[in-house]
Amino acid sequence: MKLSPKTITFALLLCATSARAADPVYLNPNAPLEARVNDLLSQMTLKQKISQLIDQAAPVYNDILDVPGYGWWNEALHGVARNGVATVFPQAIGLAATWDEKLMLQVASSISDEARAKYQIAKLNYDTARYQGLTFFSPNINIFRDPRWGRGHETYGEDPFLTGRLAVNFIGGMQGNDPKFLKTVATAKHFAVHSGPEATRHSFDAQVSQHDLFDTYLPQFEMAVKEGKVESVMSAYNRVNGEPASAGTVLLGDILRKKWGFKGYVVTDCWALSDIYNGHHYLQTLEQTVAAAIKAGVDLECGDAMTKGLGNAIKQGLLTEKDLDMPLKRLFSVRFRLGMFEPKGTVSYDKIPFSVVDSSQNRALALLAAQKSMVLLKNEGQILPLSSAVKSIAVIGPTADEQSVLLGNYNGIPSSSTTILQGLEAEAKTRNIALKYAQGSAIGGNVTTGYAEAVQTAKSADVVVMVLGITPHQEGEENENKENPSGDRSSIQLPQVQEDLLKAVVATGKPVVLVLTGGSSQAISYAKDKVPAILATWYSGEEGGKAVANTLFGTNNPAGRLPITFYAGLQDLPAFDDYSMKNRTYRYYSGTPLWGFGYGLSYSTFAYSSLNLSSATAKAGDSITVTVKVKNTSSRDGDEVSQLYIQPKNAPSYAPKIWLAGFVRNTLKAGEERSLSFKLTPRELGLVDEKGERSMVAGEYTVFVGGSQPRDAGNAGVSLVLKIQ
């Protein structure tokens, strides 16, 4: 039978397609991962290889390869961000205020569910643009060392141990627990010694002692790498002790790779490589910069310096093509482990339905997280929860009906949200309570024309709820908004126009509850002295308004704790650009704060007893088990955050005065008593010396367990002395 030319052509094409599908090792799911990666790379030209080393990786097509492009830059700080509708959980600082590791794991698992579901839609649409992928630039685990830093609310606060524990759980929820495939990739950022000032981050050299480096700035990153098994680390813009963080052999090579054994990939902060020669003037040319970054251990650039400079760097002999193999292997290993080259239906995470996005379950979890994040700072005369005798409420303040105090930054878009005013209105309606609202003032500025209405509204009510504070427009990243281009704050006082509004309302004699919005320490000395009740609400997510209302009316019993110190002002603090930890954070601060790290009240009361150490003495290398009983001594069910602190009695001058070494959040029914157990390893018991080495140092140490720090007045807690020999 004679075949037509058209039939022959079709048959040849069919054979070629079948051979292509069956032949490449990189598409064989049964081949070892290393063999699949090596096979893929062996088919790529130098130009194609270079195109894979930037955040917007180009597609690669030839006779053998069919590699889609990929956008490595995605955001998920407190929900899938910049990718349409998604559940918006409380901002990171609010999640930290929950002091709840299990909740953090649950929140991150829900975020990664939504991420996977969104990715499946993007893949069906051949959409490989930015923010459509599975590799996320979260969490931000820098230490919030200074309240002026605009990005502090993106972090888990000022303590390395709390930050590390929360980061490990966030990473676990994002990356999943499948033995073969990653659910998504988490990226611990910004490595390292990075917490402002924002305006000079592209040229600033953070000078830091070895003690502070290993005692404060690196422990949480080490926990993320060793315990969290984080797959990615983002290098920072700044220099550290003279060496660029994005081309530093000490940070990226000696510490991250060699000392900690990090096997994942390093991505630069966006356009950080151009800073090395334009901002830091550390190197003279683009080619020198990209060569130094590759040799230091950078695998991926967020930016375009690699594509512009690598070809010439190789021509100039600064690099060889072989130098690109390791970065490429790390990057493609991750893409394989994310299941991007697997046959359809073989990756369980691909089966997550799109219905999880903005689901009722995730919205309920956002409400729970917001409720758990509420920190009750003051409740004089037990004004809260509001009693049934309250028949009218005045809600006053510029952030009461402001959506930005729900969303924070690096946020998704909720399908619906509840402002604080809306939450209070809904709750008041169900209770037959009359509610009136007056804005009173703008967030800043000096316009006082709204004061008169606010005062009259207050006078007409039984109780006044004042909603004051700041928004992400007053604190944030450099150039994030026009109101404050630097992102940082020059003052931590409540804006004067709001302070004066508060004084005018307090002068009416009506009982006032202050609901404070914002993501950082605010110096509210007047409010602490004059206002009966104060509730810190952070940037509380899409259900934040409901959570505030639930808390004020008592359906939510607050138990959040401060993840930062609330200072009375900046007068005691060192210069913003001084990276020494002396007189910073609760571990080193010698002044008197408004409220300390770990502080928070409840509508329940708790008592501690029966503290016991497995041994009253220890020597280098020993671990100690601490047991204690905690009891809910009230008639109301509630959560208690039990905190274990260590205080050295005669520590070296460079050592912290106190440090957190354990914590757990539990729900206890009225009258319930529970036994707790903490294990203190040489890590928790050790001190970092001036050379940066951690070891157990002989001396006496007070081990304290309670609901806050031991130095908080009236704190219920118990202590014993441990001797280290």
Catalytic residue positions, numbered: 269
Q: From 556, 548, 501, select the one nearest 526 (Cα to Cα).
A: 501
Hey, what are 308's tokens? 């512009």
What phi and psi values does residue 587 have, to the nearest 5 degrees?
-75, -25
**What distance in Å separates the CA atoms of residue 225 and residue 589, rounded to the nearest whole number?**
29
Residue type, 401: D
One DSSP character per residue, 444-507 reads SSS--TTHHHHHHHHHTSSEEEEEEE--TTTS-STTS-SS-TT-S-S--BPPHHHHHHHHHHHT
HSE-up of 658 (CA within 13 Å, CB side)?
21
CB 587 within 8 A of CB 580: no
For tokens 């359906």, the residue is 555
Distances (CA, A) of 70 to 25, 54, 180, 496: 21, 10, 21, 48
DSSP 91: P
Tell me if residue 265 falls in helix, strand or coil. Answer: strand
Sheet holding 205-206, edge to edge: 205-206, 239-240, 243-244
One DSSP character per residue, 371-420 reads HHH-EEEEEGGG--SPPTT--EEEEE-TTTT-THHHH-SS--B-SS---H
Distance of CA 418 to the CA centre of its chain: 23
CB 542 within 8 A of CB 366: yes
Q: From 534, 620, 601, 488, select the one nearest 204 (Cα to Cα).
A: 488
Beta bridge partners of 19: none
Distances (CA, A) of 666 to 98, 550, 676: 11, 20, 10
Would you state the torsion angle of the CA atoms of residues 315, 319, 325, 330, taken in this order, to the nearest 10 degrees? -130
3-state helix, strand, coil in the chain (%, to 5): 35, 20, 45
One DSSP character per residue, 631-699 reads EE-SSS-EEEEEEEEEEESS--TTS-S-EEEEEEEEEE-TT-EEEEEEEE-HHHH-EE-TTS-EE--SE
- With a CB cutoff of 8 Å and minimum separation 6, the contacts of 491 are 570
Hey, what are 402's tokens? 């402001």
What phi and psi values does residue 469 have, to the nearest 5 degrees?
135, -155
